[in-house]
Chain A
Amino acid sequence: MTEARSRRTNLAIARPMWLAIVLVAVAATAAAGPPPDFRLQDLDGNWVTLSDHVGKDVVYVTFWATWCVPCRREMPYLQQLHEDLADRGLTIIGVNTDPPGTTSKIKPYIKQYKIGYLTVLDPNNNVLDKYNPTRELPYAVLVDRTGNVHEVFAGYRKGDEVRLREKVLELLDAPTGGEGEAPSGDPS
């Protein structure tokens, strides 16, 4: 075996070690907590702040783009969820991640799919980068009434909408008043 081939074999095993060490340290302190806050503009230029909604409603933050076919497939189900459960305290925030040059296409798209839930714009993807550095779409987090992330949804497969509805109903029916999981790492 040549030196180069030997190295090919070895690197796959040896290099993950440093990351494993970092992760063990990080994972020891990590737990489900509040989602990263953001303040983004909607299609009409109005500012929407996530923290205005979390801790009150059950919040579903979903990242999408016009070119993303699974996102398109999921959107009618999200709209149905919005129509059925907004009155009971569900807030859906769609974060569009299309680049700045294509923003003129977003509003026709929203109209076409009859989307009634909040849509905000993250053209520079700085918010998406915090939630999901690999940036695959769709990507969503479900936040309970205590303000903590309850579950993460990566991608969309047919049937995911059924599981999402069950989770949302479970959170909407859950008792409120601080009985949820305590947020991690309260310095006070």
Chain B
Amino acid sequence: MTRASALAAVLLVALAPTAAAGDDESPPAKRYRIFGQLTTELELNQAEDENDPEDGDYTKLKQIVAVNLEWSKLTVGVQLELLDYSDPELVDRLDLDRLHDTLELRRYYVDYQGDHLSGRLGTFFSSLGRGLTLYVQKNDVLGFDEPIHGAFAKLNLEHFDISAVGGTVTEPQLQNQFNREFEDEVYGGRVIARLPLDLYLGGSAVRAELDRFFPEGTDEVEVWSAEGGGTGLFGLLDIAAEWSELTKTEATRVRDGYGRYFSAAAYVGPVSILAEYKDYYNFAYRYNLPPNAGRADESYDHNDVKGPRLLVSADILATGSIVHGSYAEFDSHRTSSSPGGTEGDRQTEWYAGLEQTIGRVYFQGSYFDRDWLDRGITETHTIGDFHLTVGGSGEIILGWDERLEEADYFSLGTTRTTAAYSLSPWGTVSLRYSWEERSGFDKEDFWGVEVQALPRSDLIITLFGGGDPGGLVCAGGQCRIEPRFKGYRANITWRF
């Protein structure tokens, strides 16, 4: 247990009786409840390994059972996971689960939830503020699932919120890339004071001890931030600003970095306007992810980038449409040519979208364009979803998702289309056709059929057969390259 997790635990234990006494305006309910979920995933992959076609296939079985016992203000929870590959050595290097090939206690915790004090001993995800100083989150789409093992406590008083967090954690992408676990320690805290006129002021600080790649040892990161802002100012304005400084102490050098973030949102009738400015220099470390108002399904740098963004959305009353659009310009702090021969990182980005309901038809579509001006690369992403209601509870869905990256010397396009029929409350049948076009290679086609059935509201069964091209997948501002898949998948989830 780290110093901060010990501190958080002590804070929790010491304050619990006091806070509980303050909470006792009504006697605690004497009820307990057991609840949880069972998930079983079976994956039979027959995608060929380009380097070893005979052994590219594998079988993967993953079972998760989560059980919670809640009594009054305490909850005790465990999550057991069984992950078994037919041959772990053959699984794609980018599969983030490859290190777990046995029965494992993935989650364990004791939660206390009082009116003013809350906290947890065990495993948890946590961020401080907007993630400039600490960001440790699960990302289901990408398969990031490494919680902090330690403790956190939060104390909420009339004008102050105080939180402390600490524990050990492993960065999922690194552990996969280097095929070993990086056991790091993070600990820190945050204080926020609520001021009159819906203003707030505060700050956070984190110290991290990071397992070094090479040579063996520990790097240290110290980062703090001061933040302030307000909501509903003048009845129409929200503002937030954060100023952060960071120091990395590595084996042979000490490096300083900083992060600055400012956002303002205004609401005028049917129009919402969001402006943000960010300036991050040498600011990324394993456990921070600063704010980004861009699209959640695109990748964004947060180590060396600066620039503004404007995001406008509006409700067009005459047609019942919702439209949105954004424009951003970013650059890095680099002043000299990079080793790769480019001269900078200037980029312009814009996207626009429409959401419309007309009678039985619902449509939502968007177009994203990012130009790397110095590198001569253009990225586009086009999304369209068309829904037609059939009867009272049926729907025909047509989907289009095309991601394209083009340069003078290279192009890569991945397109996914879906035709589906859903019938509430029973489930959905989907036919998928995808293709990948890469310069210098033949077009590759992927067909697939998925059936999702809900025989009961607490039971979901999903079966998939066919292929998927994989490629770049982004969610929540984080990205990974998904390996291609050909084979069968079965997923059964039961909640109790």
Contact = CB atoms under 8 A, between A and B. Distances in A.
Nearest to A38: B113
A39 to B, nearest CB: 6
Contacts, number: 240
A184 to B, nearest CB: 6
A104 B34 contact: no
Contacts of B135: 99-101
B194 A126 contact: no
Given A104-B263, A186-B31, A23 B38 contact: yes
Contacts of A135: 138, 140
B463 to A, nearest CB: 14
Interface string A152-188: 1111011110110000000000000000000111111
Contact of A30 (B29, B34, B120, B314): B34
Nearest to A128: B138
Contacts of B73: 37
B394 A15 contact: no
Contact of A158 (B59, B276, B422): B422
Contact of B39 (A45, A108, A133): A133
Nearest to B263: A104
B259 to A, nearest CB: 11
B430 to A, nearest CB: 12
A66 B362 contact: no
Contacts of A1: none
Interface in B36-76: 36-40, 42, 44, 58-59, 61, 63-68, 70-71, 73, 75
B127 interface: yes
Contacts of B411: none
Contacts of B31: 33-34, 183, 185-186
Interface residue tally on A, bucketed by range = 35 or more
Interface string B271-297: 011101000000000000111110011
B125 A126 contact: yes
Given A8-B86, A100-B137, 8 more contacts: A15-B82, A108-B267, A111-B267, A125-B138, A130-B75, A158-B389, A158-B422, A183-B33
Interface of B: 29-40, 42, 44, 58-59, 61, 63-68, 70-71, 73, 75, 77, 79-80, 82, 84, 86-87, 103, 107, 113, 115, 118, 120, 124-127, 129-131, 135, 137-138, 140, 156, 194, 198, 200, 231-232, 238, 240, 263, 265, 267, 272-274, 276, 289-293, 296-297, 311, 313-315, 322, 355, 362, 364, 385, 387, 389, 392-395, 422-425, 427-428, 454, 457-458, 460, 475-477, 493, 495-496
Interface of A: 4-5, 7-8, 11-12, 15-16, 18-19, 22-23, 26-27, 29-30, 33-34, 36-39, 43-45, 47, 49, 51, 66-67, 69, 72-73, 98-105, 107-108, 111-114, 123-126, 129-130, 132-136, 151-155, 157-160, 162-163, 183-188
